[in-house]
Structure 1
């Protein structure tokens, strides 16, 4: 086993492979893939009648495009020199893929909340994805280049200082670390902003299966059923319903024994196909309604198709043979507290799926509503949460040594983020141009 000193030396040695200042560069390569072609290739095996929703949502703005274009950015990151300091990447550490959720102890935590693209890779890829999304968000909300740079810098600095702080802690202290939202409120220096944040958290606490029962279901012939709201929410037909009931048992086997016992106390009531997210639109996704003690004791589970991570074609083969297992294992490793119903299985036609709760006090911010100071604070919070996740899954001592006490890395990645704003805007125009030319069809009403 290597010592802490040896791990730190490994981190410093990585500067020879990729200097900290080198992360500021962004010049698209001559053979850079066409972004529209990347999206079309990714869509080939998706539900074709849902693709116009995906393209419509991505075309709404450069920020929306970036959110759905993880595959495009993965290719760009892969074309750059990297450190070789590997962590379990979120794979899509976009600003909107952070949020609050309930721990099993019913504490409200702030953390990463999307793991569809999780995969082992260089730690800085997540940091650059986060910084770019912060910079694009700042420009989208009317802030100039300097404000975008400052917001991206805030996220990266929080990441670096977070990793360095955790590098000094013991293994169990790092494993048990979390960002508690009660502590979060005490960090907000303005009483008015603190009240706004408290209101958002209170809304998240109400975001439960019981709340979803009233929003997503109705009573038909004395039976509770999921509502029909096509194409976003459509009750499963007989073939899908039969398949879902069958794979429900397979999913159950991936849970811990005590959680299987808990799940057995619920009864399968109904299921529906659901459209979720931006980049995920077109992948197969269902929601299942279960009831426990009575009809007022609901549990909503989401079944989502797991496909190859957008990072896989750019990195060495990872340890997971099953895409659903990859997502579940990545989430369990990166999150401070995992969903107790998280599991995976193989469904019809050999497709991989993973299961999780649909709503468990989950909540996220509306970036458009954030004031400049709030965006800076939120960027710092995301950087801190990302550092905690990476510290669990990678060599935090080596990464901390690579980053160092100076802000060289911070400023370089902030500069990259500002440059990538322009690249993302160009890619967004390519998408809207393809839609205008009839190459792609976009639905603008969903």
Structure 2
């Protein structure tokens, strides 16, 4: 059995492949593809009528572009040397893919909350995407250059500190590690920061199925149905509704026995197609309303198309052949407390889907308008949560050995973050030019 010291040395040996200071370098590949071409290639098998919404959302700002361009950044990261220290990557670890959600025990926890791109890969890819998103958010908030760099640096420093702490814990202690809502406030340094956090907690507690019942449904002729709000929420249609009902039992079979029993206490009432996110727009996504004891006892599930991760073409094959299974397994591995209704299935035309609960006290942070100190504090929180996820899925002792006790890694990645923020701003301008020239059809503000 490999000892902790040997595992730590394995991490230090990885510095021979890629030194910690080398992460500062950002040199685009000579054959780097046009970013708009990458996005258009992704859109070939998506719903064409929704693609203008995707481009409109991405064209809103460089940060929005980053949110929707995980495939572009994956190719950029793959063109650089990497450590070979593998974890289960989130694959899209930007600031807005962290937030509060309800655990099965109904407590609020802070964690990663998007796993469409999850795949095994080098730990630093997630760290670099998170740091780049911090830099872009800071710039859009008008922070001066040194504060932009400081926010990215503190985010990565929190990651390094957390990994090193977790490397000293026992296996079960690491597995059960979580960031409960009650631990959020002490992490923040001022009354103003705590006030903003308390507001987030309050909003999260309100985002329940009962709140969704009032916002998303109406009663027509004594029957509750999902409100239509085209083009964002539209009726599923007879064929889609029939297909969803048909695959419901297949999804049910991927749940554990006690969760199947719980699901059986609900009945299928209505379904609608829903537009979600930025990068996901155009994929097939539905929400389903189920009711339990009566029409005022709701359960909302989201059924989302699962596609090949943007990381897959750049990395060795993963353990799952079904994309929905990949997403669910990745989420269960990375999250401290995963949704009890997570499952997967194959739908019409052999398309893969995964199922999860909708609006279970989920609340992403509103990073727009955060002060430099607030954004740095939030970045530290995200860095800590990412380290916890990686410690569950990878060799935390090797990663800790690679990172070491000095600040070399965070300084390098902070430099990378600023350089990649420049690249993202340039890519965003390329998309804007394509929209202005009529090459890309965008629907802004939808």
CA distance in 1, matches of 2:424, 2:29: 15
Contact 1:71/1:310, CA 8 A, preserved across alignment: yes
The more displaced of 191-200 and 319-328 is 191-200
Match of 2:153 in 1: 153
Q: Flag structure 1 segments of 5+ consecutive residues without an equivalent.
A: none
CA distance in 2, matches of 1:41, 1:5: 46
Are 2:133 and 1:133 equivalent residues in the alignment? Answer: yes
Aligned length: 446
| Cα offset, 1:283, TM superposition | 0.4
SS of residue matched to 2:272: strand
Q: Deviations over 1:126-171 (max 9, x none)?
A: 0000000000000011112211110100110000000000000000
Task: Trace 1:74-113 onto structure 2 (pairs within 5 A).
Answer: 74-113=74-113
Match of 1:353 in 2: 353
SS of residue matched to 2:276: coil
| Cα offset, 1:28, TM superposition | 1.0
Match of 1:282 in 2: 282
Contact 1:88/1:120, CA 8 A, preserved across alignment: yes
CA distance in 2, matches of 1:271, 1:308: 25
Q: Deviations over 1:286-323 (max 9, x none)?
A: 00000011111100000000000000000001111000
SS of residue matched to 1:367: coil
Contact 2:235/2:271, CA 8 A, preserved across alignment: yes
CA distance in 1, matches of 2:233, 2:177: 37
Q: Deviations over 1:317-374 (max 9, x none)?
A: 1111000000000000000000000000100000000000011110011111312111
SS of residue matched to 2:131: helix
CA distance in 2, matches of 1:352, 1:179: 32
Contact 2:333/2:393, CA 8 A, preserved across alignment: yes
CA distance in 1, matches of 2:277, 2:93: 14
Match of 2:219 in 1: 219
| Cα offset, 1:187, TM superposition | 2.3
Match of 1:19 in 2: 19
CA distance in 2, matches of 1:147, 1:194: 21
CA distance in 2, matches of 1:182, 1:435: 45
Match of 1:374 in 2: 374
CA distance in 2, matches of 1:360, 1:238: 28
SS of residue matched to 2:302: strand
CA distance in 2, matches of 1:433, 1:144: 27
CA distance in 2, matches of 1:197, 1:168: 30
Q: Deviations over 1:160-208 (max 9, x none)?
A: 0000000000000000000011111122232232122112111110101
CA distance in 2, matches of 1:289, 1:419: 45
Match of 1:322 in 2: 322
The more displaced of 261-270 and 185-194 is 185-194
Match of 1:417 in 2: 417
CA distance in 2, matches of 1:132, 1:140: 12
Contact 1:149/1:415, CA 8 A, preserved across alignment: yes
Task: Trace 1:28-177 onto structure 2 (pairs within 5 A).
Answer: 28-177=28-177
Contact 1:97/1:114, CA 8 A, preserved across alignment: yes
Q: Deviations over 1:105-135 (max 9, x none)?
A: 1110000000000000000000000000000
| Cα offset, 1:427, TM superposition | 0.2
CA distance in 2, matches of 1:93, 1:194: 24
Q: C-alpha root-mean-square deviation of aligned residues, in Å?
A: 0.7
SS of residue matched to 1:368: coil
Q: Flag structure 2 segments of 5+ consecutive residues without an equivalent.
A: none
SS of residue matched to 2:363: coil
| Cα offset, 1:65, TM superposition | 0.4
Are 2:396 and 1:396 equivalent residues in the alignment? Answer: yes
| Cα offset, 1:258, TM superposition | 0.1
SS of residue matched to 1:44: helix
Are 2:236 and 1:239 equivalent residues in the alignment? Answer: no
Match of 2:188 in 1: 188
CA distance in 2, matches of 1:419, 1:193: 29
CA distance in 2, matches of 1:409, 1:371: 25
Contact 1:145/1:418, CA 8 A, preserved across alignment: no
Q: TM-score, normalised by structure 2?
A: 0.99
CA distance in 2, matches of 1:199, 1:210: 19
Are 2:209 and 1:209 equivalent residues in the alignment? Answer: yes
CA distance in 1, matches of 2:347, 2:402: 43
Runs of at least 4 residues off by over 6 Å:
none
Match of 2:305 in 1: 305
Match of 1:365 in 2: 365
CA distance in 2, matches of 1:426, 1:418: 13
